[in-house]
Chain A
Amino acid sequence: MGNGGVKLKRKMYAVSVNNIAKSYGAKKNVTPALHGISFDVKPGELFGLIGPDGAGKTTLFRILTTLLLPDKGTASVDGFDVVNAYKSIRRRVGYMPGRFSLYQDLTVKENLDFFATIFNTSIEKNYDLVKDIYAQIEPFSNRMAGKLSGGMKQKLALSCALIHRPSVLFLDEPTTGVDAVSRKEFWEMLKRLKAEGITILVSTPYMDEAGMCDRVALIQSGRLLEMDTPSAIIRDFSKKLLALKGPDMLTLLQAIRSHKDVADAYPFGEFHHVVLEQDDESGLLGYLQDNGIAFEAKMAVPDIEDCFIQLMKEER
């Protein structure tokens, strides 16, 4: 792409990542973190970066928030280059790192005041944006941030990342280690922020959160496995998928895996998911019956986790 093309892409997208690569260490001890990845996020989009620990999610976030220089490639945020125009980016993005990074020995209110002041604004000016979230911790506004519970820290960190009304919000694993109820509540908050027009780039190791995003990139070992809307990724799962369960799940799994029609089989909640090499399951089911293994079987609809597993295995 010529220079003009890059400029155009910058204008069109809230985040544009072009062939970004990054390694840590030097000489003999080089650990690659990102292998030349590219993707774009549209303005107002809720974009999910889905992958396990060590996939490169945090490295990418640090590059996009101008805290780390890429080895190769270019990237822009809100039209500004992450290397040359880093100061402009810092003024207009919000960033919530995976680790709690507020001042533990300032109170809730002091932390929020501090971040508002740094960005030349005030709590009053943007209160409507953080109101829903901040109201939940406001009764504790005089408590030290270090003395808050995990859930309250998360809400304060999100409030601080929002108080200057950023155009792009970066959230690095906001739901890791958080229980299922709090995770659901957090995603409700993100939907309300999206309605305010804020572009959100969020990372998570939880595959079931992919469905809450407009589009997702599946990332593993520094490479994008796939990028699309969650429903399109699921539509692309081309093989037939069965769900089987029985009284002895371990024996059932071993028997399924030994059959030639089976491309892959793995535990999936109360069932085993079975990916077939071909569309006809009668060979496998007959084989299980002949071997006296009790089971019930049904067709299964794949979800993002099934897709991730298949993509990971193709990559290997």
Chain B
Amino acid sequence: MREKVIIAEKLTKRFGDFTAVDAISFDVNKGEIFGFLGANGAGKTTAMRMLSGLSLPTSGNATVAGFDVYRENEKIKRNIGYMSQKFSLYEDLTVRENIRFYAGIYGKSSSFIRDKTTAVLQRLHLTGEADKLVKSLPLGWKQKLAFSVAIFHEPRLVFLDEPTGGVDPVTRREFWQLIYEAAAEGITVFVTTHYMDEAEYCDRVSIMVDGRIDALDSPSVLKQQFGARSMDDVFLKLARKAQRTAD
């Protein structure tokens, strides 16, 4: 049996009488690229906050990287990586300083940081820019660097929250190449996106509607199941049923 990196059972979060996440159950396998889709306001962010140890569930159970979301949320934080379109790197630190800062936070040794920094810079073709401030880099480079920093400490799982928003189409694909490579090394990738072509790049995709997971399978099975030509069609068919208004 494949190793599970996330197991969620009836995971629920209520704010007052509003149920943001309504008893969702699903598993994510080791090394899988798992797409987490849903309209604005469907509950994606709340679910991700619970899974990354930032918010306690109201009810239900979940383990992430083998740790319980209620009792071991600090251990979860140490064993995952996270990046989003909004929060990524420190603009006023150089490329090298950002890497050292984040790796240091995760308690990596100086020799580990030194050796791996060289490899990461080469992989990203950023060796010549290592001592430049991050704010001087184009957005696409920043996002690729932010991803490499998020997995620098070799977490078992990385959460990516709309990592490619506003990125040009060439760099967007280079970014996905990095995702594939990370998954091949055994890092599980949990990703949200508004680009439906990117949903096709995932091994499996879940679609949240009004706090529940309404569909979960590989893109090809989902398309068959909904008689749709593309993931865009699948998404529209499901999301149009939503009763809640956005956000």
Is B196 engaged at the interface, CB distance under 8 Å to the other chain? yes
Q: Mark B140-177, 1 if CB is under 8 A from A, else 0.
A: 10000000000000000000001001111111010010
Report B-chain residues with C-beta under 8 Å of the C-beta of A176.
165-166
Report A-chain residues with C-beta under 8 Å of the C-beta of B194.
177-180
Q: Choose one: A151, A269, A309; the contact of B247 (CB below 8 Å).
A: A151
Q: Mark A175-190, 1 if CB is under 8 A from B, else 0.
A: 0111111101000000
Docked pose: A267 CA to B246 CA in angstroms = 31
Residue of A nearest to B38 (CB): A179
Is A270 engaged at the interface, CB distance under 8 Å to the other chain? yes
Q: Choose one: B40, B165, B169, B247; the contact of A312 (CB below 8 Å).
A: B169
Q: How far is the CB of B215 from chain A (nearest CB, A)?
A: 14
Q: Say yes or no: B246 contacts A52, CB within 8 Å.
A: no
Is A313 engaged at the interface, CB distance under 8 Å to the other chain? yes
Q: Say yes or no: A267 contacts B176, CB within 8 Å.
A: yes
Q: How far is the CB of A3 from chain B (nearest CB, A)?
A: 38
Q: Say yes or no: A184 contacts B236, CB within 8 Å.
A: yes
Q: Say yes or no: B196 contacts A179, CB within 8 Å.
A: no
Docked pose: A51 CA to B41 CA in angstroms = 27
Q: How far is the CB of B245 from chain A (nearest CB, A)?
A: 5
Q: Choose one: B139, B184, B197; the contact of A269 (CB below 8 Å).
A: B197
Docked pose: A178 CA to B165 CA in angstroms = 10
Interface size class of A (residues with CB under 8 A): 20 to 34
Q: Say yes or no: A309 contacts B166, CB within 8 Å.
A: no
Q: Give how many B residues have a beta carbon under 8 Å from the other chain's beta carbons.
A: 38
Residue of B nearest to A184 (CB): B236
Q: Say yes or no: B245 contacts A177, CB within 8 Å.
A: no
Is B232 engaged at the interface, CB distance under 8 Å to the other chain? yes
Residue of A nearest to B194 (CB): A179
Q: Say yes or no: A250 contacts B247, CB within 8 Å.
A: no
Q: Choose one: A55, A179, A270; the contact of B246 (CB below 8 Å).
A: A179
Is B39 engaged at the interface, CB distance under 8 Å to the other chain? yes
The verdict on A152 contacting B167 (CB below 8 Å), with A180-B196, A267-B176 known, is: no
Is A146 engaged at the interface, CB distance under 8 Å to the other chain? no
* Residues 180-201 (chain B) with a chain A CB within 8 angstroms: 180, 184, 194-197, 200-201
Docked pose: A177 CA to B161 CA in angstroms = 11
Docked pose: A266 CA to B170 CA in angstroms = 8
Q: Say yes or no: B230 contacts A181, CB within 8 Å.
A: no
Docked pose: A51 CA to B169 CA in angstroms = 9
Report B-chain residues with C-beta under 8 Å of the C-beta of A149.
40-41, 245-247
* Residues 132-190 (chain A) with a chain B CB within 8 angstroms: 149-152, 176-182, 184
Q: Say yes or no: A54 contacts B246, CB within 8 Å.
A: no
Q: Choose one: A150, A152, A269, A309; the contact of B170 (CB below 8 Å).
A: A309
Report A-chain residues with C-beta under 8 Å of the C-beta of B140.
52
Q: Mark A252-284, 1 if CB is under 8 A from B, else 0.
A: 000000000000001111100000000000000
Docked pose: A150 CA to B200 CA in angstroms = 26
Report B-chain residues with C-beta under 8 Å of the C-beta of A152.
245-246
Report A-chain residues with C-beta under 8 Å of the C-beta of B67.
none
* Residues 30-44 (chain B) with a chain A CB within 8 angstroms: 38-41
Q: Say yes or no: A305 contacts B232, CB within 8 Å.
A: no
Q: Choose one: B39, B173, B232, B245; the contact of A267 (CB below 8 Å).
A: B173
Docked pose: A150 CA to B242 CA in angstroms = 16
Report A-chain residues with C-beta under 8 Å of the C-beta of B167.
52-53, 205
Docked pose: A305 CA to B40 CA in angstroms = 24
Q: Say yes or no: B169 contacts A54, CB within 8 Å.
A: no
Is A207 engaged at the interface, CB distance under 8 Å to the other chain? yes
Q: How far is the CB of A148 from chain B (nearest CB, A)?
A: 8
Report A-chain residues with C-beta under 8 Å of the C-beta of B166.
52-53, 176, 205
Listed by A's residue number, 23 A-B pairs whose Cβ atoms lie within 8 Å are A51-B168, A149-B41, A149-B246, A150-B41, A150-B246, A151-B245, A151-B246, A176-B165, A177-B162, A179-B239, A180-B236, A181-B236, A181-B239, A182-B39, A184-B236, A250-B180, A266-B170, A267-B176, A269-B231, A270-B219, A270-B220, A308-B168, A313-B170
- List residues of chain B with CB under 8 Å of any chain A CB: 38-41, 138-140, 162, 165-171, 173, 176, 180, 184, 194-197, 200-201, 219-220, 230-232, 235-236, 239-240, 242, 245-247
Besides A52-B167, A269-B230, A309-B169, 10 other A-B contacts (C-beta < 8 A): A52-B139, A52-B171, A181-B236, A181-B239, A205-B166, A268-B197, A269-B196, A269-B197, A270-B220, A308-B169
Which are the 4 A-B pairs with shortest beta-carbon distances?
A52-B168, A151-B246, A53-B166, A149-B247
